[in-house]
Amino acid sequence: DIQMTQSPTSLSASVGDRVTITCRPSQNIYKYLNWYHHRPGKAPQLLIFSSSSLHTGVSSRFRGSGSGTEFTLTIDSLQPEDFATYYCQQAYTTPWTFGQGTRVEIK
């Protein structure tokens, strides 16, 4: 299985901050990388697919980049609704696997 390692596992930030989360798969997955955010009690939501494509309806303050074995999710100007847990997911091969999550908390 492809192991997905996210860093950091948690971070504290303030509204308006820029936040960057990194995801490193254990092997080359080209650009087959998706990002989600998940708020407690809510359904996970797709943010970015294929490394850098913004999902329909998602704010442009979310940006994805990377390929191969290193990917980043950047959130520009953090908003109150952005405090959540973020997951990366490799879509290169089954079993599809997720990172362990990065919890973004209010400072």
Where do contacts with another protein occur on this chain (CB under 8 A)? 1, 32, 34, 36, 42-46, 49-50, 53, 55, 87, 89, 91, 94-101
Q: Is 41 left (phi over 0), alpha (psi -120 to 50) or beta?
A: left
How many helices and strands in the chain, by DSSP H and E?
0, 11
Identify which of residues 17 and 24 has a Cβ nearer to another protein in the complex: 24
Minimum CB–partner distance for residue 44 and another protein (Å): 5
Cβ closest to another protein, residue 49 vs residue 71:
49
Q: Which residues of 7-31 are buried (b: 16+ CB within 10 A; e: fewer)?
A: eeeebebeeeeebebbbbbeeebeb
Closer by beta carbon to another protein, 16 or else 40: 40
CB of 78 to another protein, least distance (A): 22
